[in-house]
Amino acid sequence: MPRKPVTLVTGAGGEIGHALIPRLAAASHTIITLDLKPLPADTAAFVHRQYTGDISATEAIGEIANTYKVREIFHLAALLSTSSERSPALAHKVNVGGTLNMLDLANEQAASQGERVKMLFPSTIAVYGLPDRKTKNEFARIKEHQWQQPTTMYGCNKLYCEHLGRYMARYSATKAVDFRCVRLPGLISADTLPTGGTSDFGPEMLHAAAQGKPYECFVAEDTRIPFMAMPDAVDGILRLMAADAATLTQTSYNIGAFNPSAAEFAQMVLAAFPSAQITYKPNPLRQAICDAWPADVDDAPARSDFGHYPAYDLRRAFDDYLVPAVRRRYGLDTGNAGR
């Protein structure tokens, strides 16, 4: 029997998977997933088959390879930045070993199908490492090739995997993996809570305020890094994957949207939830990580090569997406809860 063509999403049970999978299903992808944990029911509803297993091991991947014709891979599974600092050896195993397994799978599938296999890799602003505040201010909008000296295990893992992908796409014997990477800023989703990222202070502040809980921010008020609303991240991923390969001049692309300081972010939260209680107690480790990340990214190549322009600036993200959706999520539609 011919193998069924499918799109594989790893790490499908996470924040991005939750937003991406309905969009892939709407675009008629037959989706299979691989995650350590069973998928939440609302995500599972869109999925043809889910595998529960470890991306850094080969059992489930072998079964997938024998059963399906994998046409595209969205490789989301990873340990995020704060979790990776806590368990660096595990981070290397999952983030690097898992990515290598996916590149191998893509390569083998391309060989058996006689066609390149597309692989989306979500990288991060953690691949950058600025040495001090003066340099961070000077290189306010950083380009892809600048300051690639990551200061975290997560950033090292992601940057190395970007290089592996570029190698497989452009220099290996087969060149059979059509590797495409977006370097995402901190993402803010109204529908899911972040876990283990160093940019989580933004979304955590918002979700705490909506629940009427006090929030102690783990970075200082003047900390500035780029953020993006989840729908723009998913649009960026889908636009990059849909682009004609001939228009792509590089394998890794910044995408950006807005970059408030922690205090500016808090002002937006307070405008929506005036009784929000936000205090600041910088955690030295997490502060140092944010200080090494750029204040903003230059995403001109993403704009010119695959036409990605974010739909949400900071105000529109709050007014049209985040505030209405978190109010619905926490049942605040009476107009006064959370205040």
Ligand X SMILES: NC(=O)c1ccc[n+]([C@@H]2O[C@H](COP(=O)([O-])OP(=O)(O)OC[C@H]3O[C@@H](n4cnc5c(N)ncnc54)[C@H](O)[C@@H]3O)[C@@H](O)[C@H]2O)c1
Active site residue 154: yes
| Min separation Cβ 139 and ligand X, Å | 19
In terms of DSSP bridges, do strands 68-75 and 141-142 run parallel, antiparallel, or are they unpaired?
Answer: unpaired
Nearest residue (beta carbon) to ligand X: 14
| Min separation Cβ 24 and ligand X, Å | 14
- Which one is catalytic: 154, 215, 312, 321? 154
| Min separation Cβ 93 and ligand X, Å | 8
Return the number of the residue (312 or 338) whose C-beta is nearest ligand X: 312
Return the number of the residue (165 or 338) whose C-beta is nearest ligand X: 165
CA distance 125 to 184: 6
| Min separation Cβ 164 and ligand X, Å | 14
| Min separation Cβ 327 and ligand X, Å | 22
Residues forming contacts to ligand X in the complex (CB under 6 A) are 11, 13-17, 34-37, 54-56, 76-80, 94, 98, 122, 124, 184, 186-187, 195-197, 199
Active site amino acids:
154
